[in-house]
Amino acid sequence: MLRFGTDGVRGVAYTEVTTEYVAALGRAAAQVLGGGNWLVGRDPRESSFDLAGSLASGLVDGGADVTLTDVLPTPAVAYWAARHDRPAAMVTASHNPYHDNGVKIFGPGGVKLSDEVERSIEAALAASVKPDEGWYSYEHATELVDDYIDHLTAMFEPGALGGLRVVLDCANGSMSEIAERPFLALGAMVSVIHAAPDGRNINDACGATSPGSLCAAVIEQEAHLGLAFDGDGDRVIAVDEHGDVVDGDRLIALAALQLRDEGRLYNDTVVVTVMSNLGFRRAMQAAGIKVIETAVGDRYVLEALDAGGFSVGGEQSGHIIYRDLATTGDGLLAGLRLAASLVQRATSLAELAEAVMNTFPQVLVNVRVAVRHPGIASELADEIALAELALGGEGRVLVRASGTEPLIRVMVEAATEELARRTAASLATVVLDRFG
């Protein structure tokens, strides 16, 4: 049985994430979270239609009243759940290739599930019998999308993006027919690339995980800004006017400083995961902003935001959560706020990104292992301590198990890239020899 990872359930479509499995998952989710009206959205990968239908059937069998829609971005599904205070689900494998798929479940109010609730669903799933065929309604997402776009544009003054040239990379995913609308409504000049999903090209050499073609397009079109979303639209990575990538760490740092200047950064605090660069932490310290650190996964960031009532947080990968404005990472919202800040400040993204922080060279090595080792950091505590000692206080080592795959991720930050690579390679060899 698949288990919940850092962001829902995910695996190979039809072999791991089967129609039977997601139907049973839907039945278990309805039993734990309650019936009533559920929304089920999906991304455009070729397996999503079948899996969304099966999930909806299982939810109905568990006592829910389900509305199944066509393609939606994850933030729009979360927005619906927040607006109606109902649970919802999204069939997507996010930034993964087309042959994977999965399910993200939101509790009533559009929030990600806690570990306790996920364990309850897994227990109900283990005891579940095969669901009956459930009957659900199907609706085109037009009205829901319109509400979501109106919700976003209402946050800004009319013409807030006037004069800005923007290129949007939609990853051939859920943002393909949506992303340009609020930018156009707010006065930007917009060009869109990778917005023709065919079921198999989602995240294929495009989007937030592969922004190379966006970098080239920004330069070619002499744009002020490029924004790359992932397959389900809850991540965003930026590209400046020179074609250089601006990652999530810098975007979160800019967001925190912008909110502080607006007097809206509660308790002068920002929330990030253990993967955020050491340079981010030092930049926030210099700015007088406290950093709270969580485990990897945007749901852990969200839990910390809610626990402290904080305003903003996110992940280096591009999940950015404006907690006062949304219940989950929203690439479109984060991109709009970034774009508006450029116009308001009459400056360039390159200038802002360069000034906000100095990035320590960071090397990440993924080591495939036979089975997951959630306690890997404890098992390699001595080796990690020696590696950090060798960095002389000018670096950081993080060894952790992937939340979704049988991988051990070895991350090293150091004063030089060569030192980071050497240290990461040495630790990766230890992992491979012991656990590979």
Q: Among the options 94, 176, 341, 402, which is catalytic?
A: 94
Give me the pLDDT at residue 61, please.
Answer: 92
Which of 227, 245, 263 finishes a domain? 245
23 and 138 in one domain? yes
Mean pLDDT, to the nearest integer, of 279-291? 96
CA atoms 197, 203, 205, 209: torsion sign? positive
Domain-located, residue 307: yes
What CATH number does residue 273 fall under? Answer: 3.40.120.10
In one-letter notation, the amino acid at residue 182 is P
Establish if 3 belongs to a structural domain: no
Whether residue 268 sits in one domain with residue 239: no
Residue 313: domain span:
248-333+346-356
CA 67 from chain center: how many Å? 24
348 is catalytic: no
**Does 13 share its domain with 138?**
yes
Whole-Å CA distances, 228 to 7, 211, 320, 340, 355? 20, 6, 13, 17, 22
Residue 127 pLDDT greater than 70, yes or no:
yes
Closest CA to 258 of 117, 182, 391, 352: 352
Q: What is the per-residue pLDDT across 14-67, written as a single tens digit (0 to 9) for each? A: 999 999 999 999 999 999 999 889 999 999 999 999 999 999 999 999 999 999
Q: What angle do CA 407, 412, 414 make, to 5 degrees?
A: 170
CA–CA dist 39, 69 (Å, integer): 8
> How confident is the model over 58-78, as a mean pLDDT?
96
pLDDT value for 404? 66
Residues 138 and 49 reside in one and the same domain? yes
Could you tell me if residue 339 is inside a domain?
Answer: no
Q: Total structural domains in the chain?
A: 4
| Residue 402 pLDDT grade (very low, low, confident, very high; cuts 50, 70, 90) | confident
Which of these three, 245, 263, 288, is where a domain ends? 245
Nearby residues of 391 by Cβ (< 8 Å), 6 or more positions away? 397, 412, 414, 415, 419, 423
Does residue 109 have a pLDDT over 70? yes
What's the confidence (pLDDT) of residue 176?
98
pTM across the whole model = 0.91
**What does the alpha-carbon distance between residue 42 and residue 49 come to, in Å, rounded to a whole number?**
7
Q: Is residue 48 domain-resident?
A: yes
Domain match, 241 and 252 both: no
Per-residue model confidence (pLDDT) at position 128: 72
Has residue 1 been placed in a domain?
no
Confidence band of 98 (pLDDT split at 50, 70, 90)? very high
Query: pLDDT digits over 228-246, tens only?
Result: 999 999 999 999 999 999 9
Please check whether residues 47 and 85 belong to one and the same domain. Answer: yes
Q: Which of 143, 174, 197 marks a domain boundary? A: 143
- pLDDT, residue 113, reads 93
Whether the Cβ atoms of residue 342 and residue 380 lie closer than 8 Å to each other: no
395 in any annotated domain = yes
Separation between Cα atoms, residue 148 and residue 71, nearest integer Å = 14
- Residue 192: its pLDDT value, please? 98
pLDDT for the residue 167 = 98
How far is Cα 371 from Cα 412, in angstroms, rounded to an integer?
Answer: 23
Instruction: Tell whether 280 and 235 lie within a shared domain.
Output: no
Euclidean distance between CA atoms 246 and 240, whole angstroms: 7
